[in-house]
Amino acid sequence: MRNSELFPEYEHSNWRWPLLVMPLEGEAFSSWVTRVAEVNGGSLQSLCWATWPGRDLLMKDLDRSIPQEVIATLRNRTGQSTNSLRALSLQSLEGVLFEDCGDGSARLPWVLPVHLRKPNSHGVQFCPDCLGEDRTPYFRLNWRLSFLTCCRTHSRLLLDHCPSCERALNPYVCFGGLRRNTGPVPVHLCRWCGWDLRRTSPVAGDINMHVEAPVIPFQGELECAIRDGWVLRPGGEWLHSIPWFRGLQRLIRHLSSGGATKRLRLVVQHEMGIPADPVLEEFTQQAQLFEQLPVTFRHHTIHLLGWILEDWPHRLIRACKSAHLRHARLLMDSTQPAPFWLWSVVQEHLSMKYQRWRNEILPPGLTISYRELGERLTNEGSLLRERRIRFIREHPELCDDLLCLIRRMKAEGLYSPHSETSILLKHIEPVITRAMSRMSLLSITE
């Protein structure tokens, strides 16, 4: 059957398709338009080819941004309003989770990427139990969000691949890989092998089904932030959800990074008593973004993030200091400035300002930079002077007899045995004065 016979073009653009489908609660646009095609006897691909000829709409993620012409056509053909159609896409989260969805081509934080030309991208998640309990199976819009990794209703991990063929789910792929398939394809079937996704059930003892208990309430807090647009921070302070998620995105990037900040992940795992996962380390070394990680690794990272936020900001500060991460590493790795709620904590507790480390680390009265300190401890002449200062501070009883002090220092190799004693008697007095006024810089590194 030809596409035009399934979805005929009529002269009047306000003609409606024979069977209408109402969007279900929280449904994604790709799921709804697939059900529209199914009840009218066709597939999503045949609907797009017949309704918008010459436009390859499925090359972009329609759940992210619905083109205006698509909205106008569907408004006339299905009777749905513009607002109800936009509510099916991630555009409904603009002003709550992010400021702008864009046109659907560029990467968007917190959104799992899905693309027809990249069939292995894990862009769609699902809960088999939810699909099995639905009177009409459908995919939820929030399953497209990377920080939602488990089903709070059934306390199980979401799946991001078909349990039969183990290929990533993609709503825009033709059924069975046949480009010209035009028959109806139920939304709950795998587009690659036809497996009924409702039949999947958790296997006892399967690590992939394990859900960390603290993640469930933390995920509920994140969902409430999306729903309300505000977050109640410790201390009773209300914060808008956009800067809140922007700060969480920065922390997530450090916890899932394979670069220098991976030390933060290792320290947090150690404090939580979680052994390092070599498979996760391999994934992160390949410069994977958080949104590109499999659901099991994203769930693990969300678990680490929730643990840090339970005792904010003390756990973050302690972990960063143990990992030797300073404010420059945490704040200067993005084109966007860090939100104030995160910036203020990092700046106050992890910024090594000169006035602070001078009093805490360097001897009193000594004002040098870290760079000069390093040069003094690596230059042979400077290093020898610091060794002399340390020797004098360790043997103050020798300062009363300068000749005895000089002989001992020659024996320790602090002065050349061929040096004139008369010259050393003039040189040793300022060294003694310096030694009595401050400790040796060598004590800092010991």
| pLDDT tens-digit readout, 66-91 | 888 888 889 888 889 999 999 999 99
Q: Three-state DSSP class for 408? A: helix
Task: List residues bridging with 140 in a β-sheet.
Answer: 27
How many H helices and E strands in the chain? Answer: 19, 4
Q: Can you tell me the distance from the alpha carbon of 395 to that of 399, in angstroms, rounded to the nearest whole number?
A: 8
pLDDT digits 0-9 by tens, 187-209: 888 877 888 898 865 443 444 46
Across 92-101, 160-169, 349-358, least confident range: 349-358
pLDDT at residue number 11: 40
Q: How far apart are CA 188 and CA 210, in angstroms?
A: 23
pLDDT tens sequence across 250-288: 999 889 887 767 888 989 999 999 888 887 777 777 657
Q: What is the pLDDT of residue 356?
A: 46
pLDDT single digits (tens) 110-136: 999 886 566 566 788 999 999 999 999
Report the percent of the chain where pLDDT is more than 90: 28
Which phi and psi (to 5°) does residue 196 adopt? -80, 110
pLDDT band at 433 (very low <50, low <70, confident <90, very high): confident
Domain ranges of the chain: 1-202, 215-351, 363-444
Residue 180 clears pLDDT 50, i.e. is over it: no
pLDDT at 293 over 70: yes
Residue 323's pLDDT band (cuts 50, 70, 90): confident
Q: What is the pLDDT of residue 86?
A: 92
What's the burial of 372, exposed, middle or buried (CB within 10 Å: 0-12/13-18/19+)?
exposed
Instruction: Return the sign of the alpha-carbon dihedral for residues 252, 254, 256, 257.
Output: positive
Supply the mean pLDDT for the chain.
80
Q: Above 80 in pLDDT, residue 139?
A: yes
Per residue in 293-329, is it b (16+ CB within 10 Å) or e — as a string? Answer: bbbbbbbbbbbbbbbbbeeebebbbbbbeebebebeb
